[in-house]
Amino acid sequence: MGREIVRQESPSRPGEQSRLWFSKDIIDILEDDKGSDKIEIIMLRLLKEVKEEQEDVQWDGNAFKRMNNLQILVIENARFSRGPSYLPNSLRVLTWHGYPDSSLPANFNAKKLAILDLSMSFFTLDKQHMKKLKCLTEMNLSGCQLLEQLPDMSGAPMLKRLLLDDCKNLVEVHDSVGFLGKLEYLSAKSCKSLRTLPHAFNLPSLEYLSLERCENLDSFPEISAKMENMKKLVLCFSGIKELPFSIGNLVGLEYLDLNECYELSGLPTSSLMLPKIQVFWAAGCERIKQLDKGRDQEQQTQDSIRRIEASFKFCSFTNEFFSTLFPYLHYVSDLLLDFSNIKMLPTSINACQSLIRLSLNGCKELREIRGLPPNIEILSALNCTSMTSRSKAILLSRTLHEGGGRNFVVPGSSIPYWFNHCTRGPSLSFWFHKELPSITICVVGDMGSHEDYPKFRLSINDSDPHGFSFMGIREAAPINHVYLSDLRLDRYDREDGWNHAEVSYCTKWWPSEVNIKWMGIHVQEQHTSLIDFRFTSQVLPVSRGRVLTTSQRRAYLKYFYEDGQTDEYTKIYKVGIQPFVLSNGEKGKEQTSWRKVQKG
């Protein structure tokens, strides 16, 4: 509607209109030189499909001479036979994707220009014009394949955004860029020839910096002063060999991405002590061998409320490096070590007091567990095929899980001995009186190659089921594993007497390759009285799962000797059946009681 109103200003003479949007009108004006000083805005935007079919705009480059009041010129997806010979000095916005020349007209005074976007063009940015860009706030030269050097930018003191992505032949960025006080956003992704950056950065306004996939860039500038506004630094897939210790001056940094920096040989400890960091990724940094402790640095206070993730996936560190690294991660809540060559969890990981989630998936060399973070809630050790029986027993110990609140997965094929009840197959039932008890569910099986959270559901008195999953554990698991998780509900429908509950695996969401062999349940006795809990009932139908006999349970204890190692501290003293008494005095059905006593 608005465009049509403007067009009615001079329907028969588009060159007399203040704003031009219609491509046919614009092309006619440029080719026939029909412009006027009434034109303030030109927006020629063609679809990419039209660009391929359309012929070049045939013009002499002088069409803008009459447009002395032109302020906004936007040209996208249009081909021109040549570049402009003249541009009006009134321009504030110049966006010309595929600009058909290597430089701006010599007689163009860009003193009013605020936005310059000549991406995907042959532009090279000469020094002469850079001296005149006093009002420039944004410059986008992404995809300018002839650009080899970014010249002195001190003539653009108001610059806030600088984009140089995919400039394949860009080799050097001038030192002056490191001292642009207003610069907020700097991106030079995939500049594969880039070798030289400013020797130092003092960019108090900078919020975002990306040097992703700059393969030949081997050094990073010194941070000469504290930069409180810097939030995100992306260096992944770059050729950087080392980071300066002064990176600790990025005191506002929240996100640091070093993934796949194959040449990176060490980490300054200052990078691990940034006070506002939330994401620290260094996956695939295979050559990191040491921590650079540099000069003494004041310990930064971390916000304990925030979730902070650190990733060292696919890293090849020595045991000594891991032992040294963990104390510096005391503030981290989520630590990802998947597919690394870690051979043991050292006692130094006990210093990670904020750690909630630890992912060790695919760590096939991991054998020993010597320490565990005190507040760990989620631990995933999928496909850790070298883990010893003693280490598995530590991760599945009753002492660790009795308080509840944990989701663990460990290689194995048996329910832990301390579980009250177990059945074959993908479901089990129980009955409870009064409140739903605090219980831990165990699932043993082969989840196949499907990568998703293992899911199960709880139905009470045949009501609509509630869905649950082993949160934080999401990976293909083609061998048998033991999954442990708490089962709790805030709201549910219950009856005054005994309530029947059934837990079953959600097979409808899983392919046929998934094979659930066992399910087990443990009642957390500190929260629940066994008087109000039973596994069989004379009134309600029994669980679909099959309760094991004593001989089957005795054979089941092979769980502790899967890799041929024995537990020198404990032995199975007795496996038996023990009755329990219900609240009405009636002797209940059999309940398994397993006892484990110390030798001697």
Residue 403 or 574, more confident? 403
Q: Quick one: which of 37, 33, 25 has its CA closest to 59?
A: 33
Query: Cα separation of 11 and 211, whole Å?
Result: 49
Residue 137 has pLDDT above 90, yes or no: yes
pLDDT per residue as tens digits for the range 169-193: 999 999 999 999 999 999 999 999 9
Domain 421-547 in this protein, CATH class: mainly beta
- DSSP secondary-structure letter at 479? S
Q: How deeply is 587 buried, as exposed, middle or buried, from its count of CB atoms within 10 A (0-12, 13-18, 19+)? A: exposed
Helices marked H in 12-140: 23-32, 48-53, 127-130
For residue 197, the model assigns a pLDDT of: 98
Please name which of 585, 560, 586, 582 lies closest in space to residue 571, comparing C-alpha atoms.
560
The per-residue pLDDT for range 3-37, each reduced to its tens digit, is 565 555 666 577 789 999 999 999 999 999 998 99
Give per-residue pLDDT as tens, 219-271. 999 999 999 999 999 999 999 999 999 999 999 999 999 999 999 999 999 99
- Characterize 229-265 residue by residue with b for buried, 16 or more Cβ atoms within 10 angstroms of its Cβ, and e for exposed: ebbbbbbbbbbbbebbbbbbbbbbbbbbbbbbbeebe
* Residue partners of 507: CB distance under 8 A and separation at least 6: 426, 514, 516
Quick check: 398 pLDDT over 80?
Answer: yes
Task: Give the pLDDT of residue 564.
Answer: 41
Kindly give, in sequence order, each residue whose CB lies less than 8 Å from that of residue 231, ignoring residues fewer than 6 positions away.
207, 208, 252, 253, 254, 255
Check if the beta carbon of residue 248 is closer than 8 Å to that of residue 225: no
Give the pLDDT band (50/70/90) at residue 279. Answer: very high
Domain boundaries, the chain: 421-547
Provide the pLDDT for residue 96: 98
Question: pLDDT at residue 594 above 90?
Answer: no
Q: Kindly tell me if the per-residue pLDDT of 52 is higher than 70.
A: no
Arithmetic mean of pLDDT, 505-524: 75
- Report pLDDT digits (tens) over 453-489: 667 788 888 877 777 776 656 566 678 899 998 877 6
- Would you say residue 593 has pLDDT above 80? no
Q: What values do phi and psi take at 508, rounded to 5?
A: -70, -15
Q: Which helix (H) or strand (E) holds 575?
A: strand 570-581
Which of 587, 547, 527, 598 is closest to 420 using CA atoms?
547
Which residue's structure tokens are 């990724």?
A: 281
Query: Would you say 412 and 444 are in contact if contact means Cβ atoms under 8 Å apart?
Result: yes
The mean pLDDT of 411-438, rounded to a whole number, is 88
Calpha distance 373→329 (Å, rounded): 11
| pLDDT in the model for residue 150 | 95
pTM, to two decimals: 0.84
Q: What is the pLDDT of residue 77?
A: 92
What pLDDT, on a 0 to 100 scale, did the predictor assign at position 532?
77
Lowest mean per-residue pLDDT among 118-127, 328-337, 560-569 = 560-569
Which pLDDT value is given to residue 19? 93
pLDDT digits (tens, 9 = 90+) for 307-322: 899 999 999 999 999 9
Range in 186-200, 411-425, 482-496, 545-559 the model is least confident about: 545-559
Q: Is the pLDDT of residue 73 over 70?
A: yes
pLDDT at 159 over 60: yes
| Radius of gyration over every alpha carbon of the chain, rounded to an integer in angstroms | 34
Stretch (H or E) spanning 137: none
pLDDT beyond 90 at 351: yes
Mean pLDDT of 538-564: 44
Region 327-345: mean pLDDT is: 96
**Residue 511: is its pLDDT beyond 60?**
no
Burial class (CB in 10 A: 0-12, 13-18, 19+), 78: buried
Residue 257's H or E segment, with its range, is strand 255-257
- Whether 478 contacts 485, CB under 8 Å: no
